[in-house]
């Protein structure tokens, strides 16, 4: 059952991040198709702005889908999110270009990206709850790494699709129809994800909530009254985790091609190698958190970004293969630690009855207002300063602010009872 749950969580999560990764990798092409301008930089920034706008709808999706997860069940919510994501991504593939219909084209793109953001609002937190509610307490870190690793795997798959298309399709054909191909892959991915999820039973925790009569009819209100501090903690850890992942998975490939001036193919290959390394480190980070606890491991990762962020971009800015990979490794190491621990703490910080609502609220606010705009802000910094190093400053600043808060308030959650019969977690106090 746990293996099947991991597969169900992984397939849907893979699809979500494949769709988002594809948009990120094709941002320069999308900029030319939907935002024609004499400046390639302006087109890229416009495309990345649309990439970021979807994140502003994640909190709305998190509120709606998170509430459904606490009222209707974890499986129901995950089925809805994967179906919505598949439909909206397929529709993006059918959009007309700016040349064909004018401003209607980017307007439709924005609408579909917003719907994507809405559907994604319940995916990461819903997958975490679904998987970890079926997992032994001493293995949550290892199992939770499935969520982080499949996000990386999806990004790698997106990069190889992009590389393949750019290798076999001419530049003119890419602008005409080539960019549509990866978005069309959403249809079979959505059907597979939906099938796998509908074949599974509900989690034992939610089944017990029903049996005990503890299912909340107004989980958002309950979470707002009781879980404010866990929501704020989730916001802090997700800000670092989400921003770090979008730097690594989306921004770096554009940074290498636009700022460092590597070829697009080499940028995609180097980015994919880094993500494969990250994917392999996720289970290791999960095992470390099972052994040493979530708080310590998460804080080490956050401090790692503060110390290693600028050196990472100094190395990548040199443009050599070895220096780029070493610079990416300086981002990969802290990201693996913060990512896996964030997945697990999304579940361990909240009581079962309000888990989906509370975690989705904090997580998606962080992604909407901190992580989602990250690639756009980093590109804007690079464009304004002409520097290959200063794009790291936003990541370092976010990690610094979050770490100050987390050092004081983040509790240790490893080993907590997350079942329906567990007492509500104690109020969050200053750590230590």
pLDDT for 44-91, tens place per residue? Answer: 667 767 766 777 888 899 889 999 999 999 988 888 888 888 899 899
CA distance 52 to 370: 10
Please tell me the number of Cα atoms within 13 Å of 300 on its side-chain side: 15
Start-end of H helices in 293-418: 294-316, 321-348, 355-366, 374-385, 392-409
Distance CA 189, CA 357 (A): 26
For the record, the structure tokens of 143 come out as 């199992």
**If DSSP states are collapsed to H, E and C, what string results for 210-233?**
HHCCCCCCCHHHHHHHHCHHHHHH
Residue 48 has a pLDDT of 66
Average pLDDT over the chain, rounded to an integer? 88
Those residues with Cβ within 8 angstroms of residue 120's Cβ, 6 or more apart along the chain or in another chain: 16, 20, 54, 58, 61, 81, 85
The CATH code of domain 1-409 reads 1.20.1250.20
Of 4, 10, 2, give the one whose Cα is nearest residue 193.
Answer: 10
The residues spanned by each domain of the chain are 1-409
Distance between CA atoms of residues 233 and 411, nearest Å: 9
Give dist(CA 106, CA 431) in Å, integer.
Answer: 48
> CA–CA distance from 364 to each of 65, 67, 85, 121, 321 (Å)?
11, 14, 16, 6, 35
Q: What is the per-residue pLDDT for 160?
A: 85
Contact criterion met (CB below 8 Å) for 53 and 365: no
pLDDT tens for 16-54 read 788 777 776 777 788 788 887 656 666 666 776 776 677
The pLDDT of residue 428 is above 60: no
Measured distance CA(128)–CA(124) in Å, rounded: 6
List the Cα angle 293/345/240 in 5-degree steps.
95
Q: Which two tokens stand for residue 195?
A: 């099938």
**CB under 8 Å to 275, separation ≥6 — which residues?**
152, 155, 156, 159, 248, 249
Q: What does the pLDDT look like over 363-401, one tens digit per residue? A: 999 988 999 888 889 988 998 998 999 999 999 999 999
Cα separation, 390 vs 394, whole angstroms:
8
């Amino acid at each position: 059952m746990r293996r099947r749950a991991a597969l169900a969580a992984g397939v849907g999560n893979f699809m979500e991040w494949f769709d988002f990764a594809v948009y990120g990798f094709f941002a320069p092409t999308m900029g030319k198709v939907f935002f024609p301008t004499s400046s390639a930089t302006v087109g890229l920034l416009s495309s990345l702005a649309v990439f970021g706008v979807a994140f502003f709808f994640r909190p709305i999706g998190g509120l709606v889908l998170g509430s459904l997860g606490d009222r209707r069940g974890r499986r129901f919510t995950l089925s809805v999110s994967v179906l919505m994501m598949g439909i909206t991504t397929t529709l993006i593939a059918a959009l007309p270009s700016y040349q064909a219909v004018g401003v209607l084209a980017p307007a439709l793109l924005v609408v579909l990206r917003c719907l994507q953001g809405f559907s994604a609002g319940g995916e990461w937190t819903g997958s975490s709850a679904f998987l970890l509610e079926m997992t032994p307490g001493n293995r949550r870190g290892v199992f939770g790494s499935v969520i982080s690793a499949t996000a990386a795997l999806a990004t790698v798959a997106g990069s190889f699709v992009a590389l393949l298309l750019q290798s076999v399709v001419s530049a003119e054909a890419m602008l005409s129809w080539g960019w549509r191909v990866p978005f069309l892959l959403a249809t079979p991915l959505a059907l597979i994800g939906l099938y796998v999820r509908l074949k599974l039973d509900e989690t034992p925790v939610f089944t017990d909530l029903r049996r005990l009569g503890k299912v909340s009819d107004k989980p958002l209100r309950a979470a707002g009254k009781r879980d404010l501090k866990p929501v704020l903690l989730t916001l802090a850890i997700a800000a670092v985790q989400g921003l770090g992942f979008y730097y690594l998975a989306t921004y770096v490939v554009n940074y290498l091609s636009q700022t460092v001036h590597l070829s697009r193919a080499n940028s995609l290959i180097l980015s994919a190698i880094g993500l494969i390394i990250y994917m392999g480190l996720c289970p290791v980070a999960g095992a470390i958190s099972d052994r040493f606890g979530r708080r310590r491991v998460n804080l080490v990762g956050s401090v790692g970004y503060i110390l290693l962020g600028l050196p990472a971009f100094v190395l990548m800015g040199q443009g050599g293969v070895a220096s780029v990979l070493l610079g990416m490794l300086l981002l990969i190491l802290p990201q693996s630690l913060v990512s896996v621990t964030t997945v697990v703490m999304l579940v361990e910080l909240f009581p079962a009855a309000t888990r989906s609502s509370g975690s989705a609220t904090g997580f998606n606010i962080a992604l909407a207002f901190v992580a989602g705009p990250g690639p756009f802000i980093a590109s804007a910094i690079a464009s304004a300063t002409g520097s290959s190093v200063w794009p790291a400053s936003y990541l370092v600043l976010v990690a610094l602010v979050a770490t100050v808060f987390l050092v004081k308030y983040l509790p240790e959650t490893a080993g907590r009872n997350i079942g329906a019969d567990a007492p509500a977690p104690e109020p969050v106090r200053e750590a230590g």
